[in-house]
Amino acid sequence: MFDSTTNPTPQFDRAEYVGTPSDKCHFCQQAVLQQYFRVGGVVACGTCAEIARHRTPVDSHLAYMRALLFGVGAAIVGLIVYAAFGILTGWVIGYLSIGVGYIVGKAMMFGSKGMGGRRYQITAVLLTYAAVSISAIPIGITQMSKQREKTQQEKLQEEQSQFEKEFGQQPQTPAPQQLKPKMSLGSAVASLALLGLASPFLELQSPVHGAIGLIILFVGMQFAWKFTAGRSALNIEGPFDNSPAKAPLQSS
């Protein structure tokens, strides 16, 4: 194609050259003379393409184990915060599960140094669900203990009041009886863990409250899934020949 204002007459008696994709590297702005690469769709010289290749994160077992370690730590922190808030305030706010998903996802990406993928996403989702669901165990135990203590005190006061009315004196407080454990510690922990994992669905006994809690938990798990997708690897193509190619001569 030619510009009629500057060169009104096409020159068919000399060779013309096909335009090259770019004269400069997109990254270092150096001239690309012979060969070029495409890094993420833009032209790059050989040196910049090699640097990009080395900087692209590569998945490994070590990266996953670091991500798992950081993720477990974040899940434990999230569990403690979630449970502590419920115990101290008496409120169980499902929106905290979004925060748990956030810190689990971010912690795993920090541990893997930006490497993500499907197994990272699945792990993050499971850790988020486990942290939120198991937090129901300490909250439930605390609430049951408070309720039982309140019930026992009310019952004792009622018995004392009844005894005073009949005999005019306070009864002697019987010594508390020690209950023997009915199951081993391992069995008790396993039972509590299973109960905790099922707790989001057990909340469906109150349909509206349970459904809202599940939806919010799902949103928190989505946060964890999104953050652990990782950086997409750069697509590096090439090398391509950048030397000028003569176009065939055209005859009039």
DSSP of 72-134, one letter per residue? HHHHHHHHHHHHHHHHHHS---TTHHHHHHHHHHHHHHHHHTT---HHHHHHHHHHHHHHHHH
**85 pLDDT band (50/70/90 cuts)?**
confident
Rounded-to-integer distance, Cα 208 and Cα 118, Å: 32
pTM score above 0.85:
no
> Residue ranges of the domains in the chain?
12-56+234-252, 61-148+193-227
Residue 8 is predicted with a pLDDT of 47
The pLDDT of residue 141 is above 90: no
Query: What is the rounded average pLDDT for all residues in the chain?
Result: 76
Alpha carbon of 24 to those of 28, 33, 144, 182, 238: distances in Å? 8, 9, 72, 78, 16
Taking only the tens place, the pLDDT of each residue in 17-28 is 333 455 788 888
Residue 24 is predicted with a pLDDT of 86
Rounded-to-integer distance, Cα 17 and Cα 243, Å: 10
The pLDDT of residue 95 is above 70: yes
Asked which of 4-13, 35-44, 75-84, 121-130 is least confident by mean pLDDT, the reply is 4-13
Given a contact cutoff of 8 angstroms between Cβ atoms, the answer to whether 69 and 111 are in contact is yes
**191 pLDDT band (50/70/90 cuts)?**
confident
**102 pLDDT band (50/70/90 cuts)?**
very high
Residue type at 207?
Answer: P
Any idea of the CA torsion for 110, 116, 119, 122, to the nearest 10 degrees? 70
Taking only the tens place, the pLDDT of each residue in 58-77 is 778 999 999 999 999 999 99
Residue with structure tokens 């750069």?
234
